[in-house]
Chain A
Amino acid sequence: MSVEYDPATLEFERRARELLERSAEALPARTRSRLTRARYAALEGAAPRATAVGRGSWRRWLPAGAVSAAMLAVLLFVGHPHVPAVPQGSVAGGEDLELLADRDALALAQDQMGEGQAAPDQDADYDFYSWAVSAAQDEGNGPVGS
């Protein structure tokens, strides 16, 4: 496709180019500096973005935050969130925890257990009783050391 422009259009084109090129060359020093930093950051690859360039970028997250807050509000006030019933096992687990935390309670619970499940402390007591019985029998035969 070949397009022939009339002189007026060509003049318009020339003036527009001149204006735009001048505006690009006459950028403020601050903008030129930020462009230089942006170029360095790009060339350094993984370098963090220039803070000045990213200024105000927090606003990008504002809508997402608003939507999240709205959804949370809907869940809290409209959705009647379901509170699951605590299973019995969990209650028992809680009692276990209390027993473990309380040494006396643990000993009491162990006393309630069967003989076959005696705790090490109880084994020590039986040893003592066995020794006491044997000592008493020995006393029956005569004083010890006499």
Chain B
Amino acid sequence: MNAFVTLPADTASFLPLRNIDLQDSTQHDARSLERFLAGIERKAFRIAQIGLRHEDDALDAVQDAMLRLVRSYASRPPEEWKPLFYRILENCVRDMQRRRTVRGRVMSWLPWPAGEEGEEARDPLEQAPDPAPTPAAQVQTDETLRALDAVVAALPARQRQAFLLRNLEGMDVAATARAMGCSEGSVKTHYFRALQTLRAQLGAFWS
């Protein structure tokens, strides 16, 4: 490989890549990786946010997933990045959910109130994000969106994952199966059940 690659004039605009050590990856790969992460970060955040119902935790999960992808899988072909990233992200979300469960158990033994992070969800609709500070509140259908978030969050983990990857991220069945580590048939089943549950529970909001 030619070590003296002529970089385009706009290379300086990629400031974060100046000091990046991506092991075997070239600078071109690094830019591709940054573009990939920039392209998925918002949907990834929404997926993590729905799963965790907490903005800070969702940001932590997305950053952890990005970091692990960059460290361990940057040299993999770019077409593998998306399934890999979402598989890592789901693991991060589950780790945080487990930690939160343990934290809740420990905090329940303490004499003082657990605080906002120690509270476990009782009613998904009550745990829906407050629409006031978000631009989403400005759209006409924010009430429906809040209800959708809450019901999706209450789905079983595999159904939630299948629904969000297929519906929000727009991944096909094969890529979703790779991301979930299961067969394509399982993806279809999880997705179908998720749709049925959502339709049944959101009928009042959807009409």
Which residues of A pack against B, CB within 8 Å? 1-3, 5, 8-9, 12-13, 15-17, 19-28, 31-32, 34-36, 38-45, 49-50, 53-57, 59-60, 62-63, 66-67
Closest Cβ–Cβ distance, residue A92 to chain B (whole Å): 49
Instruction: Tell me whether B8 is interfacial, beta carbon within 8 Å.
Output: no
- B139: chain A residues within 8 A (beta carbon): 22, 26
Please state if A42 and B59 are interface contacts (CB–CB under 8 Å): no
23 interchain pairs (CB within 8 A)? A3-B188, A9-B199, A12-B195, A16-B148, A16-B167, A19-B145, A19-B148, A23-B46, A23-B136, A26-B135, A26-B139, A27-B135, A36-B38, A39-B66, A42-B67, A43-B33, A43-B37, A44-B19, A53-B56, A56-B117, A63-B103, A66-B106, A66-B110
Please state if B106 and A35 are interface contacts (CB–CB under 8 Å): no
Closest Cβ–Cβ distance, residue B66 to chain A (whole Å): 3
Instruction: Tell me whether B98 is interfacial, beta carbon within 8 Å.
Output: no
Report the nearest A residue to B147, measured CB to CB. Answer: A19
Please state if A21 and B41 are interface contacts (CB–CB under 8 Å): no
Q: A16-B148, A27-B42 are contacts. A38–B63 as well, Cβ < 8 Å?
A: yes
Closest Cβ–Cβ distance, residue B138 to chain A (whole Å): 8
Which residues of B pack against A, CB within 8 Å? 16-17, 19-21, 30, 33-34, 37-38, 41-43, 45-46, 55-56, 59-60, 62-63, 66-67, 69-71, 99, 102-103, 106-107, 109-110, 115, 117-118, 133-136, 138-139, 141, 144-145, 148-149, 164, 167-168, 170, 184-185, 188-189, 191-192, 195, 198-199, 202, 206
Partner of A43, one of B16, B56, B99, B107: B16
Q: A20-B148, A42-B63 are contacts. A59–B117 as well, Cβ < 8 Å?
A: yes
Report the nearest B residue to A11, measured CB to CB. Answer: B206
Please state if B45 and A31 are interface contacts (CB–CB under 8 Å): yes
Q: Looking at A20, A28, A44, A60, which has the most chain B CB atoms within 10 Å of its CB?
A: A20
CA distance A1 to B184 in the complex (A): 8
Partner of A53, one of B59, B110, B118: B59
Closest Cβ–Cβ distance, residue B140 to chain A (whole Å): 11
- A32: chain B residues within 8 A (beta carbon): 42
Partner of B37, one of A17, A31, A39, A59: A39
- B37: chain A residues within 8 A (beta carbon): 39, 42-43
- A3: chain B residues within 8 A (beta carbon): 188, 191-192
Partner of A20, one of B46, B109, B118, B185: B46
Please state if B185 and A1 are interface contacts (CB–CB under 8 Å): yes
- A23: chain B residues within 8 A (beta carbon): 46, 136, 145, 149
Report the nearest B residue to A50, measured CB to CB. Answer: B63
CA distance A8 to B203 in the complex (A): 11
